[in-house]
Amino acid sequence: MNKVALVTGASSGIGEATVRRLLQDGYVVYAAARRVDRMKPLERDGARLLALDLTEDASIVAAAGHINAEAGRLDALVNNAGYGSYGALEDVPLDEARRQFEVNVFGLARLIQLTTPMMRAQRSGRIVNITSIGGKMHEPLGSWYHATKFAVEGLSDCLRMELQPFGIEVIVVEPGAIRTEWGGIARQSLLDRSGHTAYAEQAQSHARMLASGETNSMVSPPSVVAETIAKALRAGRPKTRYATGGGARTILFLRRMLSDRGFDGLMRRIEKRLAAGA
């Protein structure tokens, strides 16, 4: 029997690459995203498409119910969907902050709630939560985004212990700089909210740094993360965390070694250098 996987945020970037990689590994793959039309090429390659809006509970319930009714099992849940909402804390409306948490944290958690019973029933399964190095480090003007990624890191640790008795493993994948639509969305939200406020100078500099990700040689393609996810799903005993792509290991090593203020200074220097080269 082929294993069954669900990949969220599958209409582009890491999610799209992961769907293709798992299809190669022989999975029955459900590709889920709001933009179903963008996933038509994946359907032609063999993926099963699901409309999924993580801000709408009815959509999440319908997606989980469809897999349960059609496949009757779920071996891998890859929680990849998410976006980066940037801007100074003072400038970001709380409605937008709540939406950031709805997509990056609460939608993820709700999907886990609804799919875990399938895994418990079969006494097996793996949940892969895609966080970011942003779940362990910080930068200016990204408070709401980083708060969600820190939250998913903690959620995953607790969940790992809760589900271990049922044969379900929880894995965290922490990408570094990856060449996807994420950077453009984060940059635009930053400029829209703080590009003309008291934080304008910081916002313009940080936006130039984010723009450098489109051409910087350090930035990795989404396939690097997809391969890491596939590796974690193949492993007999997977690691609890995988840092991958785009300088992830280096940045996380420096975060462990430096004091808070030392890391603040490092991030300022990195921003200045990358912004100058953008």
Widest CA span of the chain, in angstroms?
A: 59
Note whether residue 211 is domain-resident: no
Note whether residue 125 is domain-resident: yes
Note whether residue 103 is domain-resident: yes
CA–CA separation, 171 vs 159, rounded Å?
10
Q: Give the residue numbers spanning the domain of 148.
A: 4-182+220-248
Q: Give 26-72 pLDDT, tens digit per residue.
A: 999 999 999 999 999 999 999 999 999 999 999 999 999 999 999 99
Q: Give 72-127 pLDDT, tens digit per residue.
A: 999 999 999 999 999 999 999 999 999 999 999 999 999 999 999 999 999 999 99
Domain count, the chain: 1
Note whether residue 258 is domain-resident: no
| Helix, coil or strand: residue 46 | coil
- The one-letter amino acid code at 227 reads E
CB neighbours of residue 237 within 10 Å? 5
CA–CA separation, 182 vs 184, rounded Å?
6
Tokens matching residue 140: 């200016």
Phi, psi for residue 155 in degrees, rounded to 5: -55, -45
Asked if residue 212 has pLDDT above 80, the reply is no
> Which of the two residues, 210 and 66, has the higher pLDDT score?
66
Note whether residue 15 is domain-resident: yes
Note whether residue 213 is domain-resident: no
Residue with structure tokens 């596939």? 230
Note whether residue 84 is domain-resident: yes
Question: In the prediction, which pLDDT does 218 show?
Answer: 81
CA 168 to chain centre: 20
Note whether residue 207 is domain-resident: no
We report the CATH number of the domain holding residue 39 as 3.40.50.720
Span 150-159, mean pLDDT?
98
**Bridge partners for 171 per DSSP:** 128
Catalytic residues: 145
